[in-house]
Structure 1
């Protein structure tokens, strides 16, 4: 039996279950429950593979991350997830799953899901949602921290600096707008 036949045999009951759940869960809207199950399975598989790779390398996952590193990784998670989900520069990565809808804020764009239902819909939801991406990014940063802590800290520092710079840009723009509108009131 070919591998694809075996995969089909094993996944068929899950697909049937997902179709039943989809009909009962959202009869009036095409929700990609099967695709979302696939995304969860992919996340779990990658996480288990990452943990196994760390173990196989003779390293241990950290039992504790110092507060400073945790804050650094958290800020980097925020910035990386937002960059992947909303930045115009990363739109080519999202394009197969989304369609451009316009500007959604300073230096961010809004995109809609291109296909409704199925795997492409689930991926479209994932890549346009910084909240959803944060889990994946945080997991990757933790594995990076466990295996190459100096490089991971450097990458996290870079993205944390970008996040702080973003706050500075917004603050500057706000002050500039206030100064411009303040002069018109006199």
Structure 2
């Protein structure tokens, strides 16, 4: 069987139009922020210290996990996904549903790697406009990440002691 020249993959359910819409929204948001920041005289930082990169990265990781996997944020994903399983701790596994833009948003909201680009973009814009506030928010998300790791370490320790 040969692949149709107009088909992206063998399943033909890839919502390329929806992805293009989401990419346009992302690019438009970044452009609007840049234009607004310029009009308001916001200056880009001369450098971004390595500690801030680590802080932004840790916050991006945690925020993307919260949006894509946390039980409590299921209400955000529910119109675009359905629950397919339970993950570790407070995490759940969702699968995108629907077609077109709905499916594309579902793909975005069910994928921590995909969502992290949006979170990082938001945090970088925030860091440019309000670095102290952004560091505080990122510090909170970083503390939550550390707390999660400690929770897992405690659970693993308990399980090892019981074996």
Partner of 2:79: 96
Partner of 2:153: 171
Matches within 5 A, 1:141-156: 141-156=123-138
Deviations 1:138-178 (A, max 9, x none): 11111111111111110000000000111111111001000
- From the CA coordinates, give the structure whose radius of gyration is larger: 1
Note if 1:68 corresponds to 2:57.
no
Partner of 1:128: 110
Note if 1:78 corresponds to 2:50.
no
Residue 49 of structure 1: how far off its partner (Å): 0.6
Q: Could you tell me the TM-score, scaled by structure 2's length?
A: 0.93
Pick the structure with more helix per residue.
1
Moved runs in structure 1, 4+ residues, more than 6 A?
none
Partner of 2:11: 28
CA–CA distance in structure 1, aligned partners of residues 157 and 11 of structure 2: 47
SS at match of 2:35: helix
Partner of 1:53: 36
CA–CA distance in structure 2, aligned partners of residues 73 and 24 of structure 1: 38
Q: CA RMSD in A?
A: 1.4
CA–CA distance in structure 1, aligned partners of residues 15 and 92 of structure 2: 23
Consecutive unaligned residues of structure 1, counting only runs of 5 or more, are: 1-19, 182-186
Among 82, 88, 99, the residue aligned to 1:105 = 88
Residue 27 of structure 1: how far off its partner (Å): 4.6
CA–CA distance in structure 1, aligned partners of residues 146 and 76 of structure 2: 25
